[in-house]
Structure 1
Amino acid sequence: MAVAILTLTRLFRFSGRDLPDPDPSMQPQDVLKHYARQFPRLNGGKVVDPINEGDSQIYEFRQASFGDRG
């Protein structure tokens, strides 16, 4: 029996838009900071634990709400 190794591609999702992984060696929180330059609403945002969809690992970015303090 052969064993297949599936490599998951990371994608980052924000506001219904899939964003490519700028650098697979970056931590998800660093990718959030990277995209916050393009999407200022992500400043103070958070990364949701990933889910798998097909051959992709999807990290969702959520913007901070006014009530968030940390």
Structure 2
Amino acid sequence: MTAAIITLDRVFRYSDRDLPDPDSGMQPEAVLKHYARQFPRLVGAKIVAPIQEEDRYVYEFRKASFGDKG
């Protein structure tokens, strides 16, 4: 019996939009900064722990709201 290593793709979700992974070697925080240049509302956003959907991990970007302390 041979063991197989399966790597799941990542996708980053923002406002019901799935954004492709710009570079699988980037940390999620770096991906957030990358997309914040396109979507200024992501500045200060948080990354929600990934969930698995089919054959990919989905990271959600949540924009910061006023009064959000953590």
Paired with 2:58 and 2:36, the residues of 1 have a C-alpha distance of: 17
Number of residue equivalences: 70
**Where has structure 1 moved over 6 Å in runs of 4 or more?**
none
Paired with 2:7 and 2:20, the residues of 1 have a C-alpha distance of: 16
Aligned-pair identity (%): 69
Name the structure 1 match of 2:26: 26
**Contact 1:6/1:55 (8 A) holds in 2:** no
1:42 aligns with 2:42: yes
Name the structure 1 match of 2:6: 6
Q: Give the alignment's TM-score, normalised by structure 1.
A: 0.91
Which structure 1 segments of 5+ residues have no match?
none
Which structure 2 segments of 5+ residues have no match?
none
